[in-house]
Structure 1
Amino acid sequence: MKYYLIAGERSGDLHGSNLIKGIRASDPAAEFRGWGGDMMAAEGMDLVTHYRDTAFMGFLEVVMNLRTITGLLKKCKADILGYRPDALILIDYPGFNLRIASFAKSGGLKVFYYISPKVWAWNQKRAWKIKANVDHMFVIFPFEVDFYKKYDYKVDYVGNPLMDAIAAFEPDPEFRRRHNLDDRPVIALLPGSRKQEIAGMLDTMLSTQRHFPGYQYVIAGVRNLPSALYDRYLSSGKATIVYENTYDLLFIADAALVTSGTATLETALLKVPEVVCYRTSGISYALAKRLIRIPFISLVNLILEKEAVRELIQHELNEENLVAELKRILPGGDKNLQQMHDYEKLAERVGGPGASERTGALIVHYLS
């Protein structure tokens, strides 16, 4: 069968690549085409558009790029019609994917959604739109099943696909040598995979360096962004940059400063003490405060239903607060052991690996 996948972010590319493996396990002759990134392409998907050209962060940024987004939607719809897939599989990325879902459903396509949009966080009325346009939704958090029940919509809970990626991870014993890292302990910086995130947070993260002279700072870089974004940090000697090797970096890190998103959950599941960082434009932040209906922004805290990791948002994200929190979570700090204890509970709630294979099998089953 022919499958058309759409992922609009780095995390979606990871989960999409594992889902391709999961589908192929049940449908060895499967063909794939779609939008995503290098990891999905590496699994044999014919890549139409890379997510680096579709990632817009925040309300203001979306408004400023409406013409571009409209053009991308038109391009995507035309490509789907030309490919005529047996199934459309949407991966998170709601602003774009919910519009494509409506288009596809009206055209008689079978629509699957893997990793629910966070409609439980804001704009809950979107759940009605999902029910109307998505044939089957595969969710990765247990509480999402109960959320959708309120809309009389049955969804499949498949577990969290991050556990597939983490279960497949094998630490590189030569990692330090390969990247010219010395024996000093490491503080990892995960500033995100979008230009706006790096521009808004990396300088503030690095401002803490003078307070921890015994540590080396290492940035988790991504290849899909221009190298010029990182060049000035290399030339100043403030930090080392490791590209496309975040899990190995976290494996050797004593602590991490992490931009809010999937990386916060990955860091916790890899048992690294962290501080969650987030900053956006003033307009986007003001709108988000009015609309978002959840007490936390990080997945770690949402799953555990408490502030297990500190969230420094907007004006709270400053040198003074970052230094104070790093001191608390580094070895010997008063929050270090508590975070480790909370991470154990987190792993229990998230569950084991197998989400990608379960989802792939269900998709093939529903199509049959």
Structure 2
Amino acid sequence: MKYYIVAGEASGDLHGANLMKELFLADQNAEIRFWGGDLMQAVGGTLVSHYKERAFMGFFEVIKNLFKVLGFIKFCKKDIASFNPDVIIFIDNSGFNLRVAKWAKKEGYRTNYYISPQVWASRASRVEDIKRDIDQLFVILPFEEDFYKKHNYKVTFVGHPLIDAIADRKQVSEAKFRKEHQLGDQKIIAILPGSRKQEITKMLAVMLSLVNDFKEYQFVIAGAPSQDFSFYKRIIGSREVAFINNKTYDLLSISYAALVASGTATLEAALFKVPQVVCYKGGYISYQIAKRIITLKFISLVNLIMNKEVVKELIQDDFNKKNLKTELSKILNTEHREKLFLNYFDLEQKLGGKGASKKAAKEIVKKLQVK
């Protein structure tokens, strides 16, 4: 069978890679063509476009690059038509993917979606687009099944793929990791400022402003694979902070606490049982638009899944040095940490255990075999 996968951003690349591994196992004759990143490319298949080329963050930033985005969409449609796949699998990245899906459905292609667009967060009217254009939707968050049920759309909950990604990773020796990256024996505070230039630019400097206030700890920046060190260096300046690129899981596995940009990384930190402060600061125009259309009480996946404030969220103007220092001090406190660990355990139970990618891949292949 021929599979065409469209993923964007680092998290989509991770989940796409794991799904591809399972597709190759479930279908020995699988031929895969994809939009993704280095992780997907390492699995096999043919890379069409790297997500680095399409890393636009926020409403205003997308508008500024609208012609580029439209050009990518046009090229994607043309490439799909040329490949003529048995199924198209969209992964997250709704702004791009739902536009392509609308065209694909009209053209008669079978359309699957792995990892639901966050229609439960804003613009719920998009559910009607999904119902019209997506043949099968695989969801990874426990509350999504009930959300879609209210909209009379049956979806398949497969569990969260991060459970697999973390459980299956190659374990590292803390001593060896510290030696390799010239880290001392201090407790580590990991800094995860996101993967896109806009968010790193807006948040990293504030995160780094705490370095001199917590000198008994070692601050370590988790560099994103999509950015070069030279970009971070301009923000780091002369601060005494370590930088480790593309080894976020290894870093989290030995971290004592973390400052984390809102997104998938908040869930990753929780699954590694690392106390965290969630941070978000967007462009002024993008934030003002988002504030008016997002209907959620929380922005972090941890709090959304648990339906209560488990981790502190510092958003936009609340994200400043004073508040960040206060909240970091709290998660370094033993009593506060113990409460967090109990909530993290409950969170993991809600996510449905291992096997998300395998479940999705088997279902995709099974449906193709009986079509």
Q: How far is the alpha carbon of 1:252 from its aligned partner?
A: 1.0
The answer for the alignment partner of 2:214 in structure 1 is 212
Q: Aligned partner of 1:66: which letter?
A: L
Q: Aligned partner of 1:117: which letter?
A: P
Q: Aligned partner of 2:178: which letter?
A: R
| Aligned equivalents of 2:72, 2:303: Cα separation in 1 | 34
Match of 2:200 among 195, 198, 201: 198
Q: Does 2:345 align with 1:348? A: no
Q: Does 2:255 align with 1:253? A: yes
Whether the 8 Å CA contact 1:34–1:47 is kept in 2: the answer is yes
The answer for the alignment partner of 2:229 in structure 1 is 227
The answer for the alignment partner of 2:336 in structure 1 is 335
Q: Aligned partner of 2:329: which letter?
A: K
Q: How far is the alpha carbon of 1:79 from its aligned partner?
A: 0.8
Deviation by residue 1:203-230 (Cα, 9 ceiling, x = unmatched): 0000011110011110000232233211
Q: How far is the alpha carbon of 1:331 from its aligned partner?
A: 4.5
Q: How far is the alpha carbon of 1:64 from its aligned partner?
A: 0.8
Whether the 8 Å CA contact 1:277–1:312 is kept in 2: the answer is yes
Q: Does 2:305 align with 1:303? A: yes
Q: Does 2:135 align with 1:135? A: yes
Aligned residue runs from structure 1 range 127-166, under 5 A: 127-166=127-166
| Aligned equivalents of 1:311, 1:157: Cα separation in 2 | 27
Q: How far is the alpha carbon of 1:74 from its aligned partner?
A: 0.8
The answer for the alignment partner of 2:84 in structure 1 is 84
| Aligned equivalents of 2:216, 2:248: Cα separation in 1 | 22
Deviation by residue 1:42-99 (Cα, 9 ceiling, x = unmatched): 0003111110111211111111111110111111111111111111000000000000
Superposition TM-score, scaled by structure 1 size: 0.98
Q: How far is the alpha carbon of 1:201 from its aligned partner?
A: 0.3
Aligned residue runs from structure 1 range 49-68, under 5 A: 49-68=49-68
| Aligned equivalents of 1:142, 1:257: Cα separation in 2 | 25
Whether the 8 Å CA contact 1:34–1:45 is kept in 2: the answer is yes
Deviation by residue 1:24-56 (Cα, 9 ceiling, x = unmatched): 221022111111000000000311111011121
Whether the 8 Å CA contact 1:234–1:241 is kept in 2: the answer is no
| Structure 2 portions without partners, runs of 5+ | none
The answer for the alignment partner of 1:171 in structure 2 is 171
Higher mean alpha-carbon deviation, 283-292 vs 143-152, is at 143-152
Q: Aligned partner of 1:347: which letter?
A: E
| Aligned equivalents of 1:18, 1:4: Cα separation in 2 | 15
| Aligned equivalents of 2:240, 2:72: Cα separation in 1 | 38
Whether the 8 Å CA contact 2:252–2:269 is kept in 1: the answer is yes
Q: Aligned partner of 1:341: which letter?
A: L
Whether the 8 Å CA contact 2:142–2:305 is kept in 1: the answer is no
The answer for the alignment partner of 1:189 in structure 2 is 191
- SS of alignment partner, residue 178 of structure 2: helix
Higher mean alpha-carbon deviation, 14-23 vs 217-226, is at 217-226
The answer for the alignment partner of 1:240 in structure 2 is 242
Q: How far is the alpha carbon of 1:336 from its aligned partner?
A: 1.2
Superposition TM-score, scaled by structure 2 size: 0.97
Whether the 8 Å CA contact 1:254–1:331 is kept in 2: the answer is no
The answer for the alignment partner of 1:27 in structure 2 is 27
- SS of alignment partner, residue 189 of structure 2: strand
Task: Give the percent of matched residue pairs that are identical in Structure 1 and Structure 2.
Answer: 52
- SS of alignment partner, residue 352 of structure 1: coil
Q: How far is the alpha carbon of 1:233 from its aligned partner?
A: 5.3
Q: Aligned partner of 1:153: which letter?
A: Y
Whether the 8 Å CA contact 2:7–2:92 is kept in 1: the answer is yes
Q: How far is the alpha carbon of 1:181 from its aligned partner?
A: 0.9
Match of 1:313 among 311, 315, 328: 315
Q: Aligned partner of 1:344: which letter?
A: F
Deviation by residue 1:118-143 (Cα, 9 ceiling, x = unmatched): 10111001000000000000001222
Q: Does 2:42 align with 1:42? A: yes
The answer for the alignment partner of 2:368 in structure 1 is 367
| Aligned equivalents of 1:237, 1:121: Cα separation in 2 | 37
| Aligned equivalents of 2:52, 2:240: Cα separation in 1 | 26
- SS of alignment partner, residue 225 of structure 1: coil
Deviation by residue 1:286-342 (Cα, 9 ceiling, x = unmatched): 11111011100000000000010000000000111111111110153x421111111
The answer for the alignment partner of 1:101 in structure 2 is 101
| Aligned equivalents of 2:236, 2:271: Cα separation in 1 | 29
Whether the 8 Å CA contact 2:195–2:227 is kept in 1: the answer is yes
Aligned residues: 367
| Aligned equivalents of 1:240, 1:347: Cα separation in 2 | 30
Whether the 8 Å CA contact 2:158–2:352 is kept in 1: the answer is no
Deviation by residue 1:261-294 (Cα, 9 ceiling, x = unmatched): 0000010011000000000011111111110111
